[in-house]
Chain A
C-alpha cells in the first residue's frame, strides 16, 4: 500500500487526509471485512440418529428395487403387448398400449435410480465440508526462467538451426499431411457437371397429371385450379423417379389472360394456362401453397412468395431468383413443352451465373 507522502507529483489538497494525523482518527480496531471463516458444521439427522439413517437406507433401497421392478415390467410389456393394440388413456387419448407401457416403465426405472442416488448422497454419504484454497495461476519467475532455458537448450541440442535440410523437409511433410484429408472430400460425390442446368423437359414432351397419370388437356385446367404435372415417360416406379421429379416437378395454374402482367409469361402460356417449376429457388423446397385469388405462391420453408401472374417474380422472402416458367403449347389437343426451362430450376449454385 502506498503512503500519501510518496505521491510527490500530486498536490497536497487532492490527497486523502492522513490516517495517522491527529485529526480525523477513523481507524477501527477490528477489520469490518475480516473473513468470518466457515460456519460451524451442523449434523444431519441421519448423522445423529442411527434410526433415521436406517430409514434413509431403506428408502434408497426401496427406490432402487422399484427401478428393478420397472425394468422387469419394461421387458414384460415388450413381450406381452402386441404392436397394434390401441387403448384409451385419459388425457392422452387413443394410444398404443405398447408405447404407453414401455414409456411408463422405462421412465419409472430411470427416475427411481436418479431419485435413489440423490437421496443416498444427501442423507447418508459423507457430510464433511471441504475448503479449496485458491492460488494465483501465474508461475513463479524462477520456474518461467527455467522453462525458457530448457527450451533453448533443447532447440540447440536438436540442431534445428544448424541442419536446415532436416528442418525444411519436416515442415514440408507436416504441411502436406492434411492434404490427404482434403483429397478424401472428393468422395462427397462426383460433381454435378451440367446436370443442374437441364431437366427432363424437352420439345414435344407432354404434360402428364401426377394424380391421374393421364396426359393433360387444356380443358382439364379451370381458372383458379392447381394441377401438378410430370413429363410423359417418367413413372413413379422408375428407379430414378425421385431424383428426376426433384427437377421436373411442375405446377399448372390458369389465370385469366388479361390478369397476366408479364409479357413473356403470356407468350409462354396457353390461353392463360401457365406452367411453373414447383421447386423453390431459395433452397429447393417444393412450393405449392397457391392462393388462387392473389396468384401468389408461398414456400412453406422460408416464406418466399412468388407472383405467378407476374413472371414468377419474388415478392417476399429470401429467394434470389424468379420461379422458372416452362414454355408450353398445345398439340393434338394435349399440352406439351416447347423446350426445356430457359434457366436452371431450383436453388442457386456456385457456377449458375
Chain B
C-alpha cells in the first residue's frame, strides 16, 4: 500500500486512474443497460431523429420550414410519414433543384442511412405510412396477372399500360416506371408524391400493391421479352404509325428515286 501511495505522483498515475474509471463505467453499463433492451432501442431511435433533424435543417428546412410545418415554397411534412421521405429523397427528387411544374427524378446524394435518419425525424412529426418491408414488395407470392389487371385499371391512365409514362397538364408528366426500385414504386402508391393521387390500403390493399409491383418488374425487367422487337418506346400506335410513315414510306420513296435516277443506257449522259 505504501508502494502504491509512493507512486501516486508518478506521471502515468492519472492515466491509470482514468483507465480504471473507464473500465468500471463500462462494466457497470454492460451489467445494467442490457436489462432494458427497449430503452436502448429508444435511444437509437431518438439518436436517429436527432441526426435526422440536423440533416433536415441543412437540406429541407429552407422550403419545408424549420419544424417541417411548411412554407409558401414547400408543403407541410407533418403526417407524410417515413415512406414519403424514403421515396422523395431516395429517388433524388428532394431536395428539389428548382421550383417548376414538377420536380424530376435525379441522382440521389444521400446515403440510405441518412435517408433513414431524415425519415425518422419526419415520421416523428406526425403519424404516416412507414417504409414498407422487403416482403411487401418482393415478387415472391405475388399474382402478376392480377397486378396487370389492377395496373391497367388504376395506373395505366397516366403511366401507360407497361409503365412507360405519359404527359399531364401544364408541363407535368407521369414518369416512366422502368428501372425504378420496387420499394419506391410501393412507396409512391402509398404516399402519392406530387400530383399523383395516393392509393392507401383502403383503396388498394397491400397484396394489390405487391401484385402491381410484381407486374411492373415482369414487363420492365432486363429479361423482359418484346416478341415483335423494336417496341419504339412502348407508346402504342402513335409511335408505331409515325415510324411507319417516316421510315417505312421514306425508304420506299428513296428506293424508287434511286431506281429511276440510275440510267440503264450504255452511254452515260
Contacts and interface: CB of A to CB of B under 8 A. Distances in A.
A94 B168 contact: no
Dominant SS at the A interface? Answer: mixed
B154 A44 contact: no
B202 to A, nearest CB: 3
A153 interface: no
B267 interface: yes
A94 B226 contact: yes
Contacts of A48: 266
A56 to B, nearest CB: 10
A291 B267 CA distance: 70
Dominant SS at the B interface? Answer: loop
Interface in A164-213: 209-212
Contact of B157 (A43, A288, A292, A305): A288
Given A86-B225, A94-B223, A298 B203 contact: no
Interface stretch (B6-14, B22-30, B176-184, B192-200): B192-200
Interface string A102-118: 00000000000000001
A210 B223 contact: no
A292 B230 contact: no
Interface in A43-62: 43-45, 47-48
B51 to A, nearest CB: 29
Interface stretch (A136-144, A218-226, A323-331): A218-226
A296 B202 contact: no
A212 B225 CA distance: 30
Interface of B: 150, 153-154, 157-158, 166, 168-169, 172, 174, 192, 194-200, 202-205, 208, 223-230, 259, 264-267, 269
B225 A226 contact: no
Contacts of B172: 291
A89 B174 CA distance: 31
A159 interface: no
Contacts of A92: 226, 229-230
Contacts of A316: 169
B103 to A, nearest CB: 12
A300 B264 CA distance: 54
A126 interface: no
24 contacts: A42-B269, A47-B266, A92-B229, A95-B228, A96-B225, A100-B229, A123-B264, A211-B203, A211-B205, A212-B205, A221-B202, A222-B200, A225-B197, A225-B198, A228-B153, A290-B197, A292-B196, A292-B198, A294-B195, A296-B169, A298-B168, A300-B157, A300-B166, A316-B169
Given A43-B265, A44-B266, A228-B153, A253 B197 contact: yes
Nearest to B223: A94
Contacts of B229: 89, 92-93, 95-96, 99-100
Interface in A257-308: 286-294, 296, 298, 300, 303, 305
A300 B157 CA distance: 7
